[in-house]
Structure 1
Amino acid sequence: MNRRNTLKSGLVLIGSATLATLLRPVGATSQILPGGRHWASADTLPPAPVNPELRLFFDKHEATQVKAIFDRLIPADELSTSASEAGCVVFIDHQLAGDYGKGRSRFQSKPFVQGTPEQGDQSPLAPADIYRRGLAELDKDCRYRYDKPFSQLSEDIQDQYLEQLEAGVIPFSFITSGAFFSLLLGNVREGFLADPIYGGNRDMVGWKMIGFPGARYDYRDVVALKGQPLDIQPVSLIGRI
């Protein structure tokens, strides 16, 4: 879909909504269907910086397995540090202990039916539930296959196992292993590129790698530098509190 078609679709929807309002049948009423997260004024305030020494959701074994998985998805190389060194495990640990882990932003009322790929996950399970059960099943499967947990496998075997997980061929009882892999991959990316105030992207390594300026609000000192490297140092929300 290109920009023109996107704009056309938006205008059609606006026009249809206006027409529907004008032609509403006599006696028709509107109804609010609750289920989402209610807005609160406190949500507009910056979050408190995450304490990286405080583990809120994972137990020690779970944290070790997540670290091993994340470090194969984003290993240390010449471009940046590994996922765990960037704080990705801390990031998702705190997210799972909060509203994200509880699925507060999701509509979680019945019925639950199989959706289309475009609709995304339709599971009644919140992310925290998926992690807890998914890590347990992954650990059980690794011990059955290799007689050791994922974190103790060689890097080559770990990569092969993650490829099978992504392909959905690892037997999981409650979701597909491919869906669990997608959740892990999405979360490690978020942790690597989120604002450091949330515990990941430590020292803004993700932003520095891609040249993202972060929460910077003033570009007057570089606006005239056309065709030149800007070398802008990123700014975190931590520096704005």
Structure 2
Amino acid sequence: MSDTRDQHPRRDFLLRSLAAGASAASLPLTSATAAPTPTPAAAPAGYLWLRPDEQVFVEALVNHMCPADGVTPDGVTLGLAVFYDRALGGNWGQGDRLYLQGPFKQGSANQGYQLGMTPAQLFRAGTEGVADYCRATHGKPFDRLPADVREALLKDLQSGKAALPNGVPSAVYFAQLLQMFYEAMFADPIYGGNQDKQGWKLVGYPGVNTANKVNIVKYANKPYRPEPAGIADLS
């Protein structure tokens, strides 16, 4: 998670990742008889699912992985923590499409997710485990650790070296945190993250621009930095 090539290591990390999770949308019908498209309801403000201690952890996490610099604001300002909240509290987080009847046995890596927990349950248990680990190892919560200690802890979670006290597999837990970070950074803004389409602008992604196929030809071998369009822009 570190790079010494320039003064924005994590920004360069994001540019290399390009894990855009944007959804496609189609243009509404436009005719004299077509009914007007209703204006989408504004998303509720604040957190809906995360507990207060989880809110603090996620905000510290996304700000560590996406610190403010001259390219974008910090992760909280970009709405990344809100994305975590909405995703975990929604259908995906609640495991609506997961088979959870068991039996659950130790599987190999190529078999994919094998735990008998929904993504939300894994997040909650893993975050509790990290809190206990931080108190036992460092005497303070994750959000109060120095940046270098946070970095080392995240690497230990990723490698599975950090054994969480409650038995949650740290590498699986971290993999979910990281995948959600990618999605929060690059998914359509209607899901809470990527505010002002900053993630798309960072990598030059046009969003759901329906003319992009033509522009690929039009701007061949030329700089192409479009103003990205999101689903809400076409609603």
Fold agreement, TM-score > 0.5: yes
Match of 1:188 in 2: 181
Match of 2:133 in 1: 141
8 Å contact kept, 1:143–1:149:
yes
Which of 81, 103, 107 is the aligned partner of 1:115? 107
8 Å contact kept, 2:188–2:231:
yes
Match of 1:213 in 2: 206
Match of 2:20 in 1: none
**Is residue 54 from structure 1 mapped to residue 46 from structure 2 by the alignment?**
yes
Task: Give CA deviations for 1:19-76 in whole Å, capped at 9, x if unaligned.
Answer: xxxxxxxxxxxxxxxxxxxxxxxxxxxxx67736221111222111111122222333
C-alpha spacing 1:88/1:49, structure 2 compared with 1 (3 Å): farther
Match of 1:178 in 2: 171
TM-superposed deviation, 1:221: 6.5
Provide structure 2 residue ranges, at least 5 long, that are not aligned to the other structure: 1-39
**Is residue 168 from structure 1 mapped to residue 160 from structure 2 by the alignment?**
yes
SS at match of 1:206: helix
Aligned length: 195
C-alpha separation in 2, matches of 1:55 and 1:78 = 28
Which of 142, 145, 154 is the aligned partner of 1:153? 145
TM-superposed deviation, 1:86: 1.4
Give 1:51-90 correspondences, 5 Å limit: 51=43, 53-90=45-82
8 Å contact kept, 1:79–1:209:
yes
C-alpha separation in 2, matches of 1:177 and 1:128 = 15
1:226 corresponds to which letter in structure 2? A
8 Å contact kept, 1:49–1:197:
no
Task: Give CA deviations for 1:157-189 in whole Å, capped at 9, x if unaligned.
Answer: 111111222221222233211111111111111
Which of 197, 204, 207 is the aligned partner of 1:204? 197
SS at match of 1:163: helix
Which of 92, 98, 106 is the aligned partner of 1:106? 98
Moved over 3 A (4+): 219-223
8 Å contact kept, 1:52–1:90:
no
8 Å contact kept, 1:83–1:188:
no
Match of 2:227 in 1: 233
RMSD: 2.1
TM-superposed deviation, 1:125: 0.2
C-alpha separation in 1, matches of 2:216 and 2:140 = 54
TM-superposed deviation, 1:82: 2.7
C-alpha separation in 1, matches of 2:158 and 2:42 = 30
TM-superposed deviation, 1:154: 1.1
C-alpha separation in 1, matches of 2:172 and 2:69 = 27
TM-superposed deviation, 1:226: 3.0
8 Å contact kept, 1:49–1:238:
no
Task: Give CA deviations for 1:96-155 in whole Å, capped at 9, x if unaligned.
Answer: 111111111222222222222112111110011111111111111111222211101111
How high is the TM-score relative to the length of structure 2?
A: 0.76
Match of 2:26 in 1: none
Higher RCO (C-alpha under 8 Å, 6+ residues apart): 2
Provide structure 1 residue ranges, at least 5 long, that are not aligned to the other structure: 1-47
> Which structure: larger Rg?
1
2:209 corresponds to which letter in structure 1? R
Identity %: 31
C-alpha spacing 1:211/1:237, structure 2 compared with 1 (3 Å): same
TM-superposed deviation, 1:222: 7.1
8 Å contact kept, 2:125–2:168:
no
